[in-house]
Chains A and B, each alone.
Chain A
Amino acid sequence: MKAVITVLGKDNVGILAKVSNACASKNINILEVTQSVLQDLFAMIMLVEFERETTPSFDVLSADFDKLGEEIGTKIHIMHEDIFNSMHKI
């Protein structure tokens, strides 16, 4: 299954490292990363892939990423990629 992780907030050292680390520990494979820093605002988008069997459920994932987001001063969302496909593609 593919999902999109977005990280939004104030730029800081090690955001990419910490988020990638969290992904690795949950058996989440990162397919693509784009990131931009506009003045102080950091925006990173990751397209990731994982198996339902080997990765925790969305319930656990979103709670864990919420916690990590708080620790590094950003807001992290993890959402199934279909939500974006359905809203923005015909």
Chain B
Amino acid sequence: MLETKDILETINMIDNEHLDVRTVTMGISLLDCIDSDIDKACDKVYDKICRYAADLVPTAEGISKEYGIPIINKRIAVTPIAMLAAACPNSKIIKFAHTLDRAADTLGVNFIGGYSALVHKGFAAGDYALIESIPEALAETSHVCSFVNIGSTKAGINMDAVKMMGPIVLKAAELTKDNNCAGASKLVIFCNAPEDNPFMAGAFHGVGEADCVINVGVSGPGVVRAALSKLDNKEDLTAVADMVKKTAFKITRMGQLVAQEASKRLCVPFGIVDLSLAPTPAVGDSVAHILEEMGLEICGCHGTTAALALLNDAVKKGGVMASSHVGGLSGAFIPVSEDAGMIAAAEKGAIDITKLEAMTAVCSVGLDMIVVPGTTAPEVISAIIADEAAIGMINTKTTAVRLIPAVGRKDDECLDFGGLFGYAPIMKLRSGSPEVFINRGGRIPAPIQALKN
């Protein structure tokens, strides 16, 4: 029989601590839509997505009602479009973005990810054209998300691609400057991109995946913070880690249940559960506040990296036993604009770009949703990407950069994206020019860690 206290605990987590399933993401392979005629390819893409995901939104909503668990986003991830673009040279690649956007509109999903290219070792046919079209694609569509993978532990870092991405990020912001530079918030640059990540903007459907899968991303920073707040300040950090593990286990079990149910109802294989702590700007749903609950005066002070390392590791350990297949990013996210505690720390100047960079060495992603001055030089953005990719490459982990240059804004202004994207003040960057280093291009060789065979 169920225990009363367990039932009330679950209800309290949902009602008061923002427990939710952040996303149910359907991954769809588009490899069978490749065609040398781009119009035919687009028709095939639209038909396949709409056929496979026709019931995605109603099914997720049905599960949400039946189990009483909010499911915030329904999303689609597709094969990197650069692979389709390779077959149709001299065509307007951006047609694929419009097709994806149209499919998302038809289906009622929140986002569709995969307008992307994997160029960690070099550029293949289609990659250049796709990357160059990203700023326009993000400006002209509302649901499409994009990423570029520019490095990996196995391949090293493609510095030609890194050099290319600085101006692309700036242009994505420039073209959407009347809309809070939102284009750049839908573009992420990865090192070691996971093929089954259900979270945007970096979701895509890897080539090693099945034709169609269901991946689920859980959330729950508010639940972890509330659990820690019940611990006495005198309890040691082993007790803190144990508490995080127990809470992560419960959150992940819920994600696993939703994933299995969605997979059964949609007749699509279950892929993975991504055990991430994904914050929102809502009060009580912040990763920074978990770190502060552990005993830091403010997120960003000395000790933050250690606290985050403990949190990230305990989330994985608690979650991994709760799900039959774990994947994606799985860890704590530290987006600045999407986290009430991070926003407060940034406004007070308690957290800066260098501390954030250090934190990305121990968290699950990277420099995420950081607003930088609109006048930042392209090579500086490229250099930030290179630094972050180096951390990922050497530590055999995923790292990502999602910067939003605040084009046309003064340095004391902030960008307000609204909704789950939140808002953030403009963060100062370090001085000194990396221009010559970035302009060298070429490849940073794969590290010795890559040679495991």
Chain A residues close to B by CB (< 8 Å): 4, 6, 8, 32, 34, 36, 43, 45, 47, 57-59, 62, 75, 77-88
Contact = CB atoms under 8 A, between A and B. Distances in A.
Interface of B: 1-4, 6-11, 15, 62, 65-69, 250, 253-254, 256-257
A84 B10 contact: yes
B68 A78 contact: yes
A8 B389 CA distance: 50
B8 A86 contact: no
Contact of A45 (B4, B15, B67): B4
Contacts of B62: 58-59
15 contacts: A4-B2, A8-B8, A8-B11, A32-B1, A43-B4, A45-B2, A45-B7, A59-B62, A62-B65, A75-B15, A79-B67, A79-B68, A80-B66, A84-B10, A85-B2
Given A4-B7, A6-B8, A88 B2 contact: yes
Nearest to B68: A79
Given A6-B11, A77-B11, A88 B6 contact: yes
Contacts of A78: 68
Contacts of B1: 32, 47
Q: Top 4 closest A-B pairs, CB basis?
A: A79-B68, A88-B6, A58-B66, A86-B257
A84 B254 CA distance: 9
A36 B66 contact: no
Query: Which of A4, A8, A57, A79 has the largest count of B CB atoms less than 10 A from its CB?
Result: A79
A59 B65 contact: yes
B164 to A, nearest CB: 46
A84 B6 contact: yes
B2 A86 contact: no
A79 B7 CA distance: 10
